[in-house]
Each structure stands twice: as C-alpha cells, then as structure tokens.
Amino acid sequence: MKIAIYPGSFDPITKGHLNIIERAASIFDRLIVCVMVNAEKQPMFSRAERENMIRRVTSHLQNVEVDASDELLAEYARRKGGCVIVKGLRAVSDFEHEFQMALINRNINPQLDTMFLTAEHDYMYLSSSVVRELGTYPVSLDPYVPAEIIDEVTARIHSVHERRIQDGKQH
C-alpha cells in the first residue's frame, strides 16, 4: 500500500490545498493530511480547529485521513509508513525552500521521496495568509475557502481583526 503524507500549516485550509489533496488522493492508496504544529508560530486556528476543518472538507474522500504532529516530518513519515511527501508548488519562489526541505528529509529518511504537484492555475496566488488578510475586508471568501468552513473562517478573521484594532487603540 502506497501511503503519502501532505504536511502543512493549513491555517486555514484553502481551495488550493483541497485541490492538491484531491489530486494526491487519486494517485496514492492512502493520503494523510498532517497539520504540522510549530511551537514558535502563533496560528489563527488551533490545532484541533484546523484538523476539524480539514476533516469536514475532505469527508467525500474515502482514502484521506487527517492528523496533526509536532514531530520532525521525516520521522513522522517513517512512523506512519509513508513513502512520499506531497507538496504543492505555486511559483518558483516556493521551489528553493521546498527543494532544500526535500533533500534534508531524504537525508534523514532515505526511503522518503518528495513529490511536487503544480498548483492549479486558479489557485497559483492563493495562500492561507492571503485568506487571513482578505478576510479582514468585506469581500466574499467563496473563491478561496471551501464552502463548508467559510462562515467559521470569516467569523474568526473578523473577531481577531476587531481585537487587534481594540488593542491598537489601547496602546
């Protein structure tokens, strides 16, 4: 059985991520989407919220599993029996860092390969940070965020934005 791992922050998951998940799920027997938890980063959505949103938007994909980890990715993949790391490439700017990470992961775990899928044309410019920024304006997130989670994502972005404005006024 070929098991692939799709790691990321997914803060929050976007239609660009979902497109990669659907394509990777059709290539491998099993795909584990893993929220990589970074203690040094302060995410907008908690680990459990991110996992929950990914579960909801991938519920139509039978061979997709959702998990979270703060382990080294190469070690996580080894523990899960994964043979491939899936990455999405949006532009040349993604490439240098991803190429370096792929070589490091292979150094740590020689059984591990990295497969790059090119972003779908419509989602080339899309990232979670673009969603977090756009969401502070009165525009629909419909082109960027899966329908099942739009209300929750929009509400959180607004409340965080409001809080920041209030904090700014107090200082």
Strands (E), the chain: 3-8, 30-36, 64-69, 84-89, 113-118
Q: Of 10, 103, 5, 78, which is closest to residue 50 (Cα–Cα)?
A: 10
Asked if residues 118 and 89 have their Cβ atoms less than 8 Å apart, the reply is yes
For ligand ADP, give the closer residue by CB, 127 or 154.
Answer: 127
- Which helix (H) or strand (E) covers residue 20, if one does? helix 15-25
CB 39 within 8 A of CB 168: no
Question: Residue 11 has what DSSP assignment?
Answer: T
Closer CB to ligand ADP, residue 9 or residue 109? Answer: 9
CB of 139 vs ligand ADP, minimal distance in Å: 17
Between 68 and 168, name the residue whose CB sits nearer to ligand ADP. Answer: 68
Site residues (vs ligand ADP, CB under 6 A): 8-10, 14, 16-17, 20, 87-88, 90, 94, 119, 123, 126-129
- Please give the positions annotated as active site: 17, 41, 90, 128
